[in-house]
Homo-oligomer: A and B are copies of this chain.
């Protein structure tokens, strides 16, 4: 007889279903090239569902979703989670209200991260779509998107993110040459934030070509 699972199997099933449905749509837009990107959904106060390392995000199924605890350790599975699992779990630990984290790798995100790595941030202001971010109710706002140096050492990256979070509230950040992390209280909000970041980053890149 198997030991009882430390999480609710039905909660995992629901989380996996949400991840598969949404990631399939994001992959179709080309935001997850070459098996990149990773995605997670909180299950309870101590566990999150997350994509298994190295899977093709355009062909994702429930079997590609596993459970980790908030230290990033696999729970009741032989699978290996994404190398970047710590960047997910640090947010779930720090913010009980965070329920979903989406890390994508679109061309706009990668290009912007290279272009603004020196400045360390992108500034978004004057757009109606800033209202898509929780807490904003006007276009007369500004959203700062930090751009972190890339590292293969997740503890280094996580420490940098913690420093940023100590200084300012935010719903996402870029890593240089890499892509975007965006999050929210649930899948719908994380996805809305992700789409808003992608859209506004794209606008800024195009305006830069047009305005010089």
- Please list the residues of chain A having a beta carbon within 8 angstroms of any beta carbon in chain B: 25, 29-30, 33-36, 56, 58, 105, 107, 110-111, 114-115, 126-129, 132, 137-140, 150, 152, 175-179, 188, 192-193, 195-196, 198-199, 202-203, 205-211
CA distance A175 to B177 in the complex (A): 26
CA distance A43 to B188 in the complex (A): 31
Each complex incorporates copies of this chain amounting to 4
CA distance A133 to B114 in the complex (A): 20
The residue from B132, B177, B202 contacting A34, defined by CB atoms under 8 A apart: B132
Q: Are A208 and B205 in contact (CB under 8 A)?
A: no
Q: Is the interface of A mostly helix, strand, loop or mixed?
A: helix
A114-B203 in contact given A34-B192, A177-B126 (Cβ < 8 Å): yes
Question: Least Cβ distance of A105 to chain B in Å?
Answer: 7
Closest B-chain residue to A211, C-beta based? B115
Question: Least Cβ distance of A188 to chain B in Å?
Answer: 7
The residue from B105, B127, B211 contacting A177, defined by CB atoms under 8 A apart: B127
CA distance A129 to B203 in the complex (A): 23
